[in-house]
Amino acid sequence: MSHHYITFKDVCFSYPNSKPVLNGVNCTITHGESVALIGANGMGKSTLLSLIVGIHLNFKGSIVVGDIPVQKAALPHIREHIGYVFQDAEAQLFMPTVYEDIAFGPRNYHLPEEEVQKRVQSALDTVGISHLKDRACYTLSGGEKRAVSIATVLALSPDILLLDEPSIALDPCSRRNLIHLLKTFQHTQIIATHDLDLVMEVCRRTLIINEGTIAHDGPTKELLTNEKLLRENGLELPLCLQQPNWA
Ligand SMILES: Nc1ncnc2c1ncn2[C@@H]1O[C@H](COP(=O)(O)OP(=O)(O)OP(=O)(O)O)[C@@H](O)[C@H]1O
Ligand SMILES: [Mg+2]
């Protein structure tokens, strides 16, 4: 996979016995782009990300990652290139300790143990959580779990990052560290988030999802400063553009 683009063509998807969530999604994310996926609760942001890694395969239309259509046989190859941070950090952590969890992915690719150790340490350092290395995952706080889930993905050196609410539960310094990390990530990334201030800093392009389709697709600077358009899509101006409202 030489070019890390993602194309959605007429993508429709429904969960069993439910009304359609996605109803004709069309767009292309090009190589090296950093794109925000925003929209009100329940509009399908997490669902759309989950389709890219083939968590549900019964969608209509096509999704192509690089030059590979998302289909069952291609999933191991596609997943090799994608780092996916779940909205629910807890669902991502399943090994007894933080170290084991971060090492799981590299070990799965049969990397030598020395390389595994290097990758784990580098991911821990990048996210700033070396002190959590030997902790049992179930004892971590919400923000600590979120940070570990980001480290598990970084240890795989992904070419494409899919991040679902990456800043949720992070304290201000950890969030700032994450923003720096995302700004320096050179490859393709899609960030589903309600943190519109993070979007302003990290993503040049924004997609607004509404009623099962990409209702707006354009430069972040234009979409996130358009109060009327944001309101029509169940959103508000980023906090940095709002007037302070002191009690
Ligand atoms: N496993 C499931 N089975 C049935 N319906 C589901 C399932 N998961 C999500 N949904 C429904 O699909 C719709 C889209 O959910 P999704 O989680 O993709 O939204 P979202 O835009 O990520 O929302 P949020 O901003 O709250 O994270 C919602 O109506 C949700 O209730
Ligand atoms: Mg979601």
Model confidence pLDDT, tens digit, residues 154-170: 999 999 999 999 999 99
Long-range contacts of residues 228-237, Cβ cutoff 8 Å, at least 24 apart: 233/39, 233/40, 233/208, 234/39, 234/40, 234/41, 234/43, 234/210, 235/38, 235/39, 235/40, 235/196, 235/208, 236/196, 237/196
Residues whose Cβ atom is located within 5 A of ion ligand 2: 45-46, 87
Phi, psi of 14, rounded to the nearest 5 degrees: -130, 145
Residue nearest to atom 18 of ligand 1 (CA): 44
- Angle ∠(141,147,150) on CA atoms, nearest 5: 140
Residue 1 has pLDDT above 70, yes or no: no
- In angstroms, the CA 215 to CA 185 distance is 27
What pLDDT score was predicted for residue 2? 52
Q: Where are the domains of the chain?
A: 6-92+158-241
What is the CATH architecture assignment of 6-92+158-241?
3-Layer(aba) Sandwich (3.40)
CA of 46 to the centre of ligand 2 (A): 4
What pLDDT score was predicted for residue 163? 97
> For 14-35, what is the mean pLDDT?
96
CA of 110 to the centre of ligand 1 (A): 35
DSSP one-letter code for 53: T
Distances (CA, A) of 115 to 92, 111, 120, 134, 158: 22, 6, 9, 18, 16
> For 215-237, what is the mean pLDDT?
98
Residue nearest to atom 2 of ligand 1 (CA): 15
Q: Is the CB of 216 under 6 A from ligand 1?
A: no
Q: Is the CB of 212 under 6 A from ligand 1?
A: no
- In angstroms, the CA 31 to CA 38 distance is 20
- Mean pLDDT score across all residues of the chain: 94
Q: Identify the weakest region by mean pLDDT among 3-7, 134-138, 142-146, 229-233.
A: 3-7
CA of 167 to the centre of ligand 2 (A): 13
Distances (CA, A) of 97 to 94, 110, 154: 9, 20, 17
pLDDT tens readout for residues 108-125: 989 999 999 999 999 999
- In angstroms, the CA 85 to CA 87 distance is 7
- Give 92's Cβ-side CA count (13 Å radius): 24
Whether this prediction's pTM lies above 0.85 is answered by yes
Q: Is the CB of 175 under 6 A from ligand 1?
A: no
Are 60 and 12 contacting, i.e. CB atoms less than 8 angstroms apart? yes
Residue nearest to atom 24 of ligand 1 (CA): 41
Q: What percent of the chain has pLDDT over 70?
A: 99
CA of 39 to the centre of ligand 2 (A): 9
